[in-house]
Structure 1
Amino acid sequence: MEILKILKKIIIPRSRKVSLPDNECDVPAEYSQVLAFNTSFKGLLSEDKFIARSDYKHLIEKYKRLFDFFKVLESSNLLNDYIKKHKLDEAQIIYFSNAYNDIKELQKESSIIKTHNDKYISQHLVSEKDYLDRILRECDSAILLDNEQREVVLSDEDHTLVIAGAGAGKTTTIAAKVRYLVEKQGIDPKKILIISFTNKAVGELRERINDNLHIDCPITTFHSTGYTILKKSDTQNQRIVDSGYMYNVINRYLKSKVLSNSQLVDKLILFFGSY
């Protein structure tokens, strides 16, 4: 039992005991934190929403030391003694350990969260069918989103990558996603920024989103967005250069720094040969 006292001092300092009304014995603060995590996590899973990583990231940060505490107890074969001594509900600790272990690495997909999100998508593909059928009717009455496009519209992860070939309907999906965010998620159109590489793509998006759907969100190219950011910064002597200017800079550098140095010329030739 001395080891338990040492663990509590090292891993969770200032541990205090809390009395619960349905238990005569004092409950350790660590167990109260377990119950708090379980309540928060189960509450998140009970919501009718797509759960993004940002929705549970704070739980990972907040309860890391608590998870480490119970991992040390388990690896030291002291967990059962700890549970019996304080007359705790083992199922609550097991749930906490399994749930936290499942979500602790944000770069990996949590099976618990994935199960919830898959269920959310499948249910809303049915409940939102009529809405999704006509979501782009103002653009073209013949447009009908396929299942993959509908899943993109309904999903709400922090970062989503959609890969598709030319003509597969990426522009159509973006327009539908924007309308869904505005009408179903209550997002302010001014807070939605749509960026594309070409003026042609920007024109198509503006026609569908700004003109047909009457959603006034900014749609622009990468270059225009960058230029707008530069204009708003405090940096002095800014200069936006074109390809002709860059050609002259590189040309002058090669002539003055590279071509006059035979070793660098050899390395440059080897580089292009290898490339």
Structure 2
Amino acid sequence: MGDRLAGKVALVTGGGAGFGAGIARRFAQEGARVIVADLDETAAARVAEEIGPAARAVSADVATQAGAEAMCAAAQESFGGLDILVNNAGFTHRNGSLLEVDEATFDRIFAVNAKAIYLAARVAVPMLAARGGGAILNTASTAGLRPRPGLTWYNASKGWAITATKSMAVELAPQGIRVNALCPVAGDTGMLGLFLGEDTPEKRAQFQATIPLGRLSRPDDIASAALWLASDEAAFITGVALEVDGGRCI
């Protein structure tokens, strides 16, 4: 337990599992009160219950205006405002030909990975500004920095998130709002099988061989990076796309 986020209120989307759950837990351990937002209401409730009184769960589709409003309203009603927004929810297609991704899947990828950042900003930025500033973190990906075949439309959505992060950082700086992106390499989460095409020991070994530090990312890796970027220790850091990738992008 620490106090690096003492007195702060954070909202973490996709907080019911994987990187989002790791971030929510770590933020709470460092003194933040946390809104755990997820499309899966049961998963969000499980993480919030594990954290305890410092967390509230909310079911929200981040790709809708109603979802953005609901999760930000939960922060206001439960904890009196918002200081940190983590746009972590993500969606992908299965690794394969760019021609085989159907239109509905393409639309959902950009709704969750791109439009959700826009929708959340419209509601959250005034809340952050009302408290004198704050921090926004967008979970992008190494795929947005070093795109490789098989995940073309996912790669493109994460490239969008990185560009949006940089532009948001410039525009929101006068309001004291810092905006940064996290760029994880693939981790042992529910999306891994889609990234690899299929989750087998052979596929994992093949992928891990491309990471100099020799392993997949873990939720605590991403949570530690998110904690630093959200804390006052990174008060002069904005517009950064931080690689949390074991050297994958080298």
* Superposition TM-score, scaled by structure 2 size: 0.27
The structure that is helix-richer by fraction is: 1
Higher relative contact order (CA 8 A, sep 6+): 2
The structure that is strand-richer by fraction is: 2
